[in-house]
Structure 1
């Protein structure tokens, strides 16, 4: 008789309270917040920067898979099966047959997407895992403000039918680039994904407003919410309560408190 203790594993990640809607998940995780604070610190340089990005994204993906990916009940014979018929683990594990596609939004998304891709190949059947690549750039207005995003090139390796479509992009600032990338998949790539999930280090209220309006079906995961340019009385409220008054972006669309331009610091290329 197998032990049925692990047939139905409850998983609940810790999230901060907010009013942005059920598809937004801002984690309450002291370890990830500590690592992110170190990553964003003024004196942190390479190689610590990219090592921290890899560490945080590995743990973020674990949380996303625990919460979102399907499971199956399996019997797995352990090494003790040669000693006793009871040497069998019986319980829920991740369904390795699931398809997953991770999208590298170059250039800040390169290391996060590669990290996610490598770990997906461990957790799932690699034959169902793929990494796509999109080159995007912000389009600026007369005052150097972001007015949109353009796609400079793509390498998409197939359809996304019934796949988990993941966008590991560090900074959810304005949402213009990511919204355009998601629209491209919806309009031009064959198949309907099982779920679309954005995975971020930091998001702003402005980004969440754009993403939930443009793509209300998308799940958003983030380590931290930054709204550092909001008025003190607004910051004293539960996030999202006075959403229209919350502000996390400078006039040039950099996140505050933020951590600078991640495409720049991750590549030591300040252009």
Structure 2
């Protein structure tokens, strides 16, 4: 499994805007969507192309198109905040959904909703969540995607903690991880430091 930190200047700038505690939900959502779109270029670098003959205004030539189906799997609810930006670049991408909550006693993720697409087994699958903290939710979501039959899976997040990366590498050594930033650590409350707070609350304006 490879871990890739995408440190493009435009991504770094937008992430800095998101980290500021006084950033509005509107600006937070807009920058999150834009970062999701920018990250797609790196995440899908190995997306296969199908050759075919086309005719330009000058001559015939060989062109290449993306025929591979793509399925986004946001972890509800914060993961929904990254799907629109990705779909702007890949408008044909379908969206499956996985809803998880953390059990207050065991602290382990519990599934409360899951809806796959019909073609997920033959698709490039991108599991999406802005935060990779402990790694429990991400690992569980990938478990579910594999149960659906998904074979080519990648995980994309905005901010990752080393603890979450280690957990995902241990549980799913076959999955590539992409993040806009590898942050310092988790604090005692399980928040990423320096992080950007609760992504779901900041996306939807809730507390």
User: What TM-score, normalized to structure 2?
Assistant: 0.91
1:175 aligned residue: 135
Distance 1:130 1:46 in 2: 26
3-state SS, counterpart of residue 108 of structure 2? strand
Q: Does 1:207 align with 2:173?
A: no
Find the partner of 1:115 among 85, 105, 108.
85
Q: Deviation of residue 177 (structure 1)?
A: 0.7
Tell whether the 8 Å contact from 2:159 to 2:179 is kept in structure 1 after alignment: yes
Once the two structures are overlaid, the 10-residue window that deviates more, 112-121 or 45-54, is 112-121
**2:104 equivalent to 1:140:** yes
Cα displacement string for residues 212-248 of structure 1 (whole angstroms, at most 9, x for unaligned residues): 0000111101111001xxxxxxxxxxxxxxxxxxxx1
The 2-side partners of 1:102 and 1:70 are apart by: 17
Task: Name 1:68's counterpart in structure 2.
Answer: 46
Q: Which structure has the larger Rg? A: 1
1:81-230, aligned counterparts within 5 Å?
A: 81=57, 84-85=58-59, 90=62, 93=64, 95-121=65-91, 126=92, 129-141=93-105, 147-187=107-147, 189=148, 191-193=149-151, 195-227=152-184
Q: 1:28: which partner in 2?
A: 7
Q: Could you tell me how far 1:24 is from its partner in structure 2?
A: 0.7
Higher strand share: 2
Q: Is the 8 A contact 2:33 2:83 kept in 1?
A: no
Unaligned runs of 5+ in 2: none
Q: 1:89 Cα deviation (Å)?
A: 5.8
CA displacement 1:73-118 (0-9 Å, x = unmatched): 444433xx2xx43xx5645x4x421011101211101121233234
Partners of 1:254 and 1:57 lie apart in 2 by: 21
1:56 paired residue number: 35
1:253 equivalent in alignment to 2:155:
no
Q: What TM-score comes out, normalization by structure 1 length?
A: 0.71
Q: Provide the secondary structure at the position in 2 that maps to 1:135.
A: strand
Paired with 1:183 and 1:64, the residues of 2 have a C-alpha distance of 20
Q: In 1, are the aligned partners of 2:48 and 2:66 still within 8 Å (CA)? A: no
Higher relative contact order (CA 8 A, sep 6+): 2
Alpha-carbon offset, residue 34 of structure 1: 1.1
Over the aligned positions, Cα root-mean-square deviation in angstroms equals 1.9
Distance in 1 between the 2:116 and 2:51 partners?
Answer: 33
